[in-house]
């Protein structure tokens, strides 16, 4: 966390006095202090950072100007006293530029926030660093006050196979309003993560209107494939942090029954590029490429798949998923239990399955060690801590930060090994600080490799099974992982959740959240 020792609005006042020719009696020591504080803050950024190098050089130049060529501040003050304010004017202009750059780098603006009326206050854009800062509760934190999902349906054969995304989302919104008693007119914005339905914005907007949300509430959709649900949360969180939104809904939804992945098409000139060609290939092909390149055996894939199937069956038998599922009504039928979890999966039954992609790579991917294809939706309600407390909303968790990365398209599945360390570095945590990981199991090939490379105990990862057992409705998954992870933290009375997933075309993402509803699992 980078902290400027002087309030930025005081710097602006000093600048106004200089630019208005009513020179501050002695602005130079104040500017010197600001520059020196900036240099101290920059020491916390790696020296290899282009940002640090650029700002550090600019700050040193301005500091030297202020102090004078020979460090003689008195000489510069004398020039100002004689009315030579050209350089002072330039310094003031540069100062405002520097303030802007530091703000872009998530500078600590809490001192400004305290000077703004609460009705106009946005969440801070800073990223807390270190466990104490992350666990600290601030009025401008972005918090989650509701997090639920629908039961998941097996694609083409399950309970949601004939339910389009608008109907699914409509049912989820009605159930959410019933449980939360949230007044739809209080919503400032909605973001829906979804991948393959036609005209997704029209469908989402129509579903919101039909659920009783006023036409004055805007909505957007986001498609970053497997991370779309997380990106919806990220977009609303960032909007709250910027002050543009005070309360928003983040939704992830997908019907892989009615809207399966379409075959991407690119022009011939684009397809001639090797990586461009790779990035539009079927996901099963990328699974086999990972297995081949990183030598992930069929046996290891089945081993990790069995863990997922076993855990999910045990969780279902113990009724654990009931806490995170909100029942929805679809055409008079209540949907409340996942129908995707397959009972009786064993090591031998997995070993007996045939490859589903025998013509690609080693042909080790099967229907038992790859994520299931499914239908479902999930939702999170986000606002500021201050508003949640003022309006009596129960705070379940806190948004902290996220990361996105790009990797070689052919090996898109390994991206969590880059997204997770990037996020941990951003927030100043170690792998050991995280209590629960929800890492998407797109394929056992990539999941096994990621677990081995991250060196995180498997006991911390997907403790109730993952997508191999529960299935992976593309737009839903990023939101479901947050719902599932926060529920698990409540049961365990633990603090930190990290979610991550690989993303088709060669990307990856991760998100960090804090549980703030310990010992209340039975009340939800």
Return the active site residues: 226, 502
Q: Cα(19)–Cα(27) distance, rounded to whole angstroms? A: 12
Opening angle at CA 504, ends 499 and 506, nearest 5:
90
Provide the token pair at 194.
């979804």
Integer Cα distance of 38 and 19 in angstroms: 22
Q: Please give the distance of CA 372 from its chain centroid, rounded to a whole number.
A: 23
What's the farthest any 2 CA atoms get from each other in the chain?
A: 90
- Residue 205: closest CA among 196, 192, 194, 195: 192
Q: Kindly report the number of other CB atoms within 10 A of residue 474's CB atom.
A: 32
Owner of token pair 């002050």: 243
CA-based nearest residue to 484, from 438, 433, 431: 438
Instruction: Encode 388-433 in three state secondary structure.
Output: HHHCCCCCCEEEEEEEEEECCHHHHHHCHHHHHHHHHHHHCCCHHH
Joined tokens for residue 138: 């601030």
How many Å apart are CA 297 and CA 362, to the nearest integer? 9
Alpha-carbon radius of gyration of the chain = 26
CA angle 429, 490, 376 (to 5 degrees): 95
Find out whether 225 and 412 touch, Cβ atoms under 8 Å.
no
At residue 468, the 3 state secondary structure works out as helix
Q: Which residues contact 15 (CB under 8 A, 6 or more apart)?
A: 92, 93, 95, 96
Burial state string for 379-391 with b = 16 or more CB within 10 A and e = fewer than 16:
bbbbbbbbbbeee
Provide the CB-side half-sphere exposure for 301 (13 A, CA).
31
Give the C-alpha separation, 93 to 15, whole Å.
Answer: 8
């Amino acid at each position: 966390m980078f902290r400027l020792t002087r309030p930025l609005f005081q710097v602006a006042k000093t600048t106004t006095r200089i630019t208005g020719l009513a020179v501050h009696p002695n602005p130079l020591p104040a500017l010197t202090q600001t520059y020196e504080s900036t240099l101290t803050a920059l020491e916390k950024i790696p020296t290899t950072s282009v940002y640090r190098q650029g700002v550090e050089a600019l700050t040193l130049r301005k500091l030297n100007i202020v102090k004078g060529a020979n460090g003689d501040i008195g000489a510069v003050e004398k020039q100002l006293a004689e009315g030579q304010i050209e350089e002072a004017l330039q310094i003031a202009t540069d100062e405002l530029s520097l303030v802007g750059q530091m703000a872009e780098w998530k500078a600590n603006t809490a001192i400004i926030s305290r000077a703004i009326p609460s009705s106009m206050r946005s969440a801070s854009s800073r990223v807390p660093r270190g466990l104490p800062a992350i666990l600290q509760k601030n009025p401008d934190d972005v918090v989650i006050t509701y997090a639920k999902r629908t039961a998941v349906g097996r694609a083409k054969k399950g309970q949601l196979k004939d339910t389009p995304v608008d109907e699914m989302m409509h049912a989820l919104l009605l159930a959410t309003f019933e449980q939360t008693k949230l007044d739809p007119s209080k919503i400032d914005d909605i973001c829906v993560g979804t991948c393959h339905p036609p005209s997704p914005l029209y469908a989402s907007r129509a579903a919101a209107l039909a659920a009783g949300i006023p036409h004055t509430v805007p909505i957007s959709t986001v498609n970053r494939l497997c991370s779309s649900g997380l990106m919806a949360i990220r977009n609303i969180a960032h909007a709250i942090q910027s002050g543009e939104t005070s309360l928003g809904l983040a939704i992830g939804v997908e019907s892989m029954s009615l809207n399966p992945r379409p075959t991407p098409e690119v022009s011939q000139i684009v397809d001639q590029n090797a990586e461009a060609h790779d990035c539009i290939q079927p996901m099963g092909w990328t699974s086999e490429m990972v297995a081949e390149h990183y030598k992930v055996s069929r046996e290891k894939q089945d081993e990790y798949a069995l863990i997922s199937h076993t855990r999910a069956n045990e969780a279902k038998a113990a009724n654990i998923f009931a806490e995170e599922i909100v029942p929805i009504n679809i055409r008079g039928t209540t949907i409340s239990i996942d129908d995707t979890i397959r009972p009786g999966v064993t090591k031998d039954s997995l070993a007996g399955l045939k490859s589903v992609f025998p013509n690609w790579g080693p042909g080790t991917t099967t229907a038992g060690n790859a994520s299931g294809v499914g239908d479902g939706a999930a939702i999170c309600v986000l606002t500021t801590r201050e508003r949640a407390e003022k309006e009596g909303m129960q705070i379940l968790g806190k948004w902290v930060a996220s990361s996105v990365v790009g990797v070689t398209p052919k090996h898109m599945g390994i991206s969590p090994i880059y997204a997770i360390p990037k996020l941990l570095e951003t927030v100043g945590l170690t792998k050991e600080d995280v209590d629960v990981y929800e890492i998407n199991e797109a394929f056992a090939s990539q999941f096994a490799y990621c677990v081995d490379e991250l060196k995180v105990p498997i006991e911390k990862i997907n403790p109730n099974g993952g997508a191999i057992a529960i299935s992976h409705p593309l737009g839903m998954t990023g939101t479901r992982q947050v719902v599932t992870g926060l529920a698990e933290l409540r049961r365990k009375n633990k603090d930190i959740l990290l979610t991550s997933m690989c993303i088709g075309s060669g990307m990856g993402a991760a998100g960090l959240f804090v549980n703030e509803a310990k010992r209340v699992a039975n009340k939800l």
